[in-house]
Amino acid sequence: MTDSGDHEEADFIPEDFPTAPGPALVLLLGAAVVGILTGLVGIAFLVLLRRGDALREILTASLHAWPPFFGWLVLSALVSGAVAAAAWMVERFAPTAKGSGVPYVEKILRGNGQPRHAWVLPVKFLGGWLALSSGLVLGREGPLVQIGAVIGEKVGRHFPGLRGAWKSLMAAGAGAGLATAFNAPVGGTIFVLEEVFRKITPQTFILTATAASVSVFLQRAVFHMPQDYAVPVIPEAPAQAVWLFFLFGTAIGILGVLYNRLLLGLLAFGERLNKIPVPLRAAAIGFLMGSVAWFAPRWVGGGDDITQSILASRSEVWLLLGIASLRFFIGPLSYSAGTPGGLFAPIIALGAIVGAAAGALNHALLPELVPSPLAFAVAGMAAFFTASIRAPLTGIVICLEMTGCYSLFFPMLATCLGAYIIPTLLKDAPIYDALADRDGRNK
């Protein structure tokens, strides 16, 4: 446990990587160890999460054989209990494990505070598994980023002679956690540089890239985990279509602003219900999510199955818009439950859904400019990420690594440009900055 303020090196992360062989080798080995540990814990979390999702689907199918009222009631009650248990674990043992954990990690790495990591790792792992397996519209990256940060900080404490080692390796662990979540080593590295620190320094790049590379090496070479989505070959969009992608990005920018404000509004509304215990509020949200799962079992959860289905085949526009409308609301509602869980995966899925609908319409109207609707689906994934989080390079690279659609880099760039400009002009704060400001005001 490192809750005390006895470590003066907390305030300092060297920008330059050490040139002396001894310290350089120690830091590299430390980053590799962080990558190994984060990768192993992250892979275990992902495997268990897949089994949890499968268990929920099997249970839902089995309960549909019951009389409808009793089947719905049992499923909703079980989801309600799981969500309440996850929220109770956070409130009782590790309040800093609530939500994605990214704003808290950024606060520690950018500032002078000491991390309060006691119980965070088990609460993030078990609470995150309960929340995500129950069907909340949350992302797996939130738990894994904070788990990686905890591992990095703990490993770094073993090198007290190297100033700032724990903080440098904490950043490396956060990047490795994101890399493991999406099987995206470059995206995990850029995330730390672009979103966490918002600058590139040699030490941060080298250590984060090392940890992220090692963690994903375990995924791919040892455990044979492929890229997240299997995507058919998408015809390259002609350069003349770039204006369509830019305009689509501006529309996504508006949606991103609305999504952020809805999320913050639901969090504020929950705070006004402070006389109701947090686990009870979470139970109510869980009951509602269980009801959604009863009627639309494939529309809940982080959204990987929905995204894969969209990228593998065409869907009706009205169906896509219906899914998007529902998840646009239940995503922020899920986050307001106070359980562990991230924002990335649901936002990416929402972008894919909206993009697929826009792509279908553009393909019908301008087939020579939009040979495949899937180009808009992939671009939408990065664009919604950009509109909400305001980290376009991270969003583009992660989505490219997840899909393998590297030929779409130019359309994605144009789409993310539009998605970035609109929130900036509307003076909408990036969601993690807004969450950090909100947490600071509530202390």
**How far apart, in whole angstroms, are the C-alpha atoms of residue 396 and residue 406?**
10
Whole-number percent of the chain with pLDDT over 90: 82
Q: DSSP for 245-259?
A: HHHHHHHHHHHHHHH
Q: Which helix (H) or strand (E) holds 214?
A: helix 202-217
CA atoms within 13 A on the CB side of 157: 13
Burial class for 388, CB neighbours closer than 10 Å (0-12, 13-18, 19+) = buried
Distances from the Cα of 328 to the Cα of 179, 193, 323, 345, 383, angstroms: 25, 29, 8, 13, 15
State residue 339's pLDDT score.
Answer: 97
- Give strand pairing partners of 340: 99
- Write out the E strands in 113-171: none
Once rounded to an integer, what is the mean pLDDT over residues 181-187? 96
In whole numbers, what is the pLDDT of the chain averaged over residues? Answer: 93
| Residue among 48, 145, 191 at smallest CA distance from 340 | 145
| Segment among 23-37, 69-83, 363-377, 408-422 with least mean pLDDT | 363-377
In this predicted model, what pLDDT tens digit does every residue of 420-440 receive, in sequence order?
999 999 999 999 999 998 877
Q: Locate 319 and state its tokens.
A: 């169906």
- The reported pLDDT for the residue numbered 10 is 45
pLDDT at 118: 85
User: What is the reported pTM?
Assistant: 0.93
- Which two structure tokens, joined as six digits, stand for 100? 């994605």
**Angle (deg, nearest 10), helices 409-425 and 242-272:** 50
Q: Do 128 and 34 touch, CB atoms closer than 8 A?
A: no
pLDDT of residue 196: 93
442 pLDDT band (50/70/90 cuts)?
low
Residue 390 falls in which region: left (phi positive, over 0), alpha (psi -120 to 50) or beta: left
How does residue 3 score in pLDDT terms, banded at 50, 70 and 90? very low
Q: pLDDT at position 235, please?
A: 87
Mean pLDDT of 387-400: 96
Q: How confident is the model at residue 1 (pLDDT cuts 50, 70, 90)?
A: very low
Q: Tell how far CA 339 is from the center of its chain.
A: 14
117: pLDDT confidence band, cut at 50, 70 and 90? confident
Residue 9's pLDDT is 42
Q: Residue 24: pLDDT above 80?
A: yes
For residue 112, what pLDDT is reported? 77
Q: What is the mean pLDDT of residues 386-403?
A: 96
Check the CA dihedral 100-147-311-385 and report its sign.
positive
Look at the block and give the residue holding tokens 């139970």: 283
Q: Which residues sit opposite 99 in a β-bridge? A: 340
What average pLDDT does this structure show over 43-54? 96
d(CA 84, CA 87): 5
- How far apart are the C-alpha atoms of 98 and 80, rounded to whole Å? 17
Report the distance separating Cα 260 and Cα 432, nearest Å: 10
pLDDT for 314? 74
Type of residue numbered 327:
R
Q: Quote the pLDDT of residue 225.
A: 93
Q: What is the pLDDT of residues 5-17, one digit of tens each?
A: 444 444 578 888 9
Dist CA 235 CA 399 (whole Å): 17
In tens, the pLDDT along 338-389 reads 999 999 999 999 999 999 999 999 999 999 999 999 999 999 999 999 999 9
Q: Which domains does the chain have, with CATH numbers?
A: 8-222 (1.10.3080.10), 239-441 (1.10.3080.10)
Q: List pLDDT tens digits, range 325-337.
A: 999 999 999 999 9
